[in-house]
Structure 1
Amino acid sequence: MVAIIKTSNSVQRILNYNEIKVKEGKAECISAINFPLELDRLNFTLKLNRFIKQASLNENVKRNAVHISLNFDPSENHSKEMLNKIAKVYMDKIGFGKQPYLVYQHYDAGHPHLHVITNNIERDGKRIDLHLLGIKKSEPARKEIEETFGLVKAEGRKTKEQFSLQPIAHRKVEYGKTESKKAINGVLNKVLFEYKYSSLPELNAALNQYNVHADRGTEESRIFKNKGLFYKILDKDSKPVGVPIKASDFYSKPTLKFLEKRFKINDSKKEPYKKYVKNAVRMTFYNSDIKSPEQLAQKLESEGIHTILRKSKEGQIYGITYLDHRTQCVFNGSSLGKEFSAKGILEKCGSNIFQHEKHFQKSNSISDKNNKNLEVAGHLQANVLDILMRTENKSDYSLSQFKRKKKRSSQGI
């Protein structure tokens, strides 16, 4: 089992995300703990109000919403009763057993998993400390639950990544397959709150992987001047299809104003992960003979980094963005430094090509020189043989002459 804990300042968005999954038939709410009514009598408003009332006991705490996912091995197929028992034991052991919480079973991934919604404000208004909650309480609880319930044990970081980094390609929006607004909303609920982006192009780098695009329109348009924003679906060629939908029409209100707040929050959140991406790019150049940005992008895929190359109509690369699925961070190349920008990468690739050609020319020069030396040596060898042969022939000639002279002399005598 793998447990992933996330916090938020909006329980409404988390609840909305799970409830939309229920409406789409991709999830089911299987338990409501510490609520005044039974699960079958709770609607969206009653669920939300319970969390809001609890949070109001300490208004100084801004990040009071907790979203936990409990992920199981694909081979495991537990009953709802078993899943509820596991969730209860887990919540008790991490100190949230007396908190109101909802348990949702999701069916939208390649492995069984639960989503749990709760908050960290207790009945007396005290705040449950979330600092190092994963290390201090969640990990020990996970290991104990694996033993108690005979679950498949997590294998470490690689296993966690398999659960948290579901391939984006499997969940792309296809125009006409589902109602456009619902399809886009499902993508927004995932990307807006799980990925760390600090600009609209960076956000689109993540959204585009799902065939969704956020657009402000042209600078002359009314929507741009009024700081409006709409979302649209892209086809397989990354061209917009269907009717764009205004940001304000979505329940979570992912407007430009909302995004600008996220940009500021995410900018600081991304900082600790810059080094990883920079090192990955450097090591890729170091370990491979990269001669084009396309080659670099292909190599980085194996590191969990999707590289977006922005090109002009003429096909010239003018921008580069790195989408790191492991840390769920999006970086514009220039924000990492000059050497990671489109210009820096092109220069590095050009330098590699130059070094390759220089090495090739040097090899050819050495080869030509060796061939020339062999040719000269061949000529010298031929000359020596010629001289030897000529000497040998001359000796034969002189000997025959001597014999003839000797013969004549004997005749004369």
Structure 2
Amino acid sequence: MIAKIGKGSNLYGAILYNQQKVETENGAVLLLNKIPDTVDGRYSVAYFNKCFDPYLSVNIKTEKMVRHISLNPDPKDKVSDEQFTEMAQEYMKRMGYGNQPYIVFKHTDIDRTHIHIVSTCVGIDGKKIPDDYDHPRSMAICRDLEIKYNLHKATEQEQKQGNKVFNPVDYQRGDIKSQIASVVRHLPKYYSFPTLGSYNALLSLFNITAEEVKGERNGQTVNGLVYVALDENGNKVSNPFKASLFGKDAGVAQLQKHFEQSKEKMKSTPARSILKNMIELAIHTTNNEIDFRKQLTEQGVNTVIRRNNEERIYGITFIDHESRSVWNGSALDRNLSANVFNDWWGNDIKPKIKEPTEPQKKSVTQKDTDELPAEKPHHFFDFLNTEPKHEDGLIEAFGGLLIPDAQGEDYEAQAFAKKMKKKRKRKRGQQ
């Protein structure tokens, strides 16, 4: 079983996301802890939101008061509602949230039935519950629950997801070639992306861009790919490196196969509808670009926006780290195309999408973002450019991004060794 801990400030959004599952018969409320039941057993977003007010109002210093946790058994595990409830109670008690108000939602909209828990890290006395070692403690609890309830054990690879992350290229650190290699040699193993544009959107998170190079050799057209390092503003800061330096997975031929495989895989994945729902929810509950992107980031989704010289948005891509897939806005829905967001943020014309059943209520902890400074163009995922922190690092947010250790590898030497090996084989064949 895998647990994922989301830490944010948008309580209303977390509750609305889960309550919409219930209202569309794709979920159910399994347990209320420290939250009064209603007479008719029916709940609303406004009601749940109000139940947390006494806790949120006593502490305005803690920025990320909300805890949105998911417990995910293996799809092969058959877990009853009673077992889910017991697991949630034991998990929250051992994590230090046993006396906190929390709601346990069951989700059934995908083949992996799982639960979400919405709570707060602020006690009724206004003190913040310590969370410095949430991740290792959470992993230990999951291992114990697997044994207690006879669940499939998470694979060793899944258990280590939080221990290794892709690092963005830092051109000032030197050895740019090895830094690029440590990303591009492994990204296709973990992420689905159907086009070169979506691949570049993903690469942009790591200060890298890929460019096609076309030419002729012996009268035949030859297509190639080069990789270039970027600075924090998206400007090129290195010479181009041929894809062949980084192995076949980084080259055009193999990437074309990956694009086609990704298209087929993404046609049937339930992640599409889940992501679309999350984006529409963010549209409803935010009023500007900064808040929109921040809310999605807290849920493990990057928003990569492309603008022309006139600052008009001509492309928008969403990178879902939960399903590890990269989506163009218009591929998700025509109401999520670049033009729609350009009209919203450029011309103050908010997209018209079916309104949620409850009106939005602003939490006392939400801050007015009108005076926030504009983000730099390339700061789409700022926490990737810092060391992971216990408070709100990438690992804590959604499990981390896997990468094998690539330090110290000499990719030119590897390519040369392969070339010599091929020559020796040819010589032996001629003899």
Equivalent in the alignment of 2:300: 195
Per residue, is there more helix in 1 or in 2? 1
Matches within 5 A, 1:6-405: 6-38=6-38, 40-135=41-136, 137-158=137-158, 169=266, 170-171=269-270, 185=280, 191=296, 193-195=298-300, 197=302, 199-201=304-306, 204-206=317-319, 208=327, 211-212=331-332, 214-215=336-337, 217=339, 225-228=346-349, 230=351, 245=353, 266-272=381-387
Distance in 1 of aligned mates of 2:358 and 2:384? 26
In 2 relative to 1, CA 205–79 (structure 1 residues): closer, same or farther, beyond 3 Å? closer
Structure 1: state its 5+ residue gaps.
231-243, 290-351, 372-413
| One-letter amino acid matched to 1:97 | G
1:2·1:72 contact (CA, 8 Å) conserved in 2?
yes
Task: Provide, for residues 311-364 of structure 1, a one-character-per-residue CA deviation record: whole Å limited to 9, x for no partner.
Answer: xxxxxxxxxxxxxxxxxxxxxxxxxxxxxxxxxxxxxxxxx9xxx9xxx9x99x
Code of the aligned partner of 1:147 = I
The answer for unaligned runs of 5 or more in structure 2 is 162-189, 193-264, 284-291, 307-314, 320-325, 363-368, 389-393, 395-400
- Cα gap change, 1:192/1:248 in structure 2, threshold over 3 Å: closer, same or farther? farther
Kept in 2, the 8 Å contact 1:2–1:142? The answer is yes
User: SS of the counterpart of 2:123?
Assistant: coil
**Hey, what does 2:235 align to over in structure 1?**
none
Q: Is the 8 A contact 1:106 1:113 kept in 2?
A: yes
Q: Distance in 1 between matches of 2:304 and 2:152?
A: 40
2:4 corresponds to which residue?
A: 4
Assess if the C-alpha contact under 8 Å between 1:93 and 1:141 holds in 2. yes
- In the alignment, the residues of structure 2 paired with residue 148 and residue 92 of structure 1 have an alpha-carbon distance, to the nearest angstrom, of 16
Distance (Å, rounded) in 2 between the aligned partners of 1:203 and 1:277:
26
Over the aligned positions, Cα root-mean-square deviation in angstroms equals 5.2
How much does 1:55 deviate?
1.2
TM-score, length of structure 2 as denominator length: 0.50
Deviations 1:26-58 (A, max 9, x none): 211111111122592432211111123211111
| Alpha-carbon separation, structure 2, partners of 1:53 and 1:149 | 35
* Distance in 2 (alpha carbons) for counterparts of 1:69 and 1:32: 16
Quick one: distance in 1 between partners of 2:348 and 2:337?
11
Q: 1:245 to 1:75 in 2, by over 3 A?
A: closer
> Conserved in 2, the CA contact under 8 Å of 1:173 and 1:184?
no
* Conserved 8 A contact 1:196-1:270: no
In the alignment, the residues of structure 2 paired with residue 249 and residue 53 of structure 1 have an alpha-carbon distance, to the nearest angstrom, of 24
What amino acid is the match of 1:200?
I
TM-score (norm 1): 0.52
- SS of corresponding position for 2:41: helix
Higher relative contact order (CA 8 A, sep 6+): 2
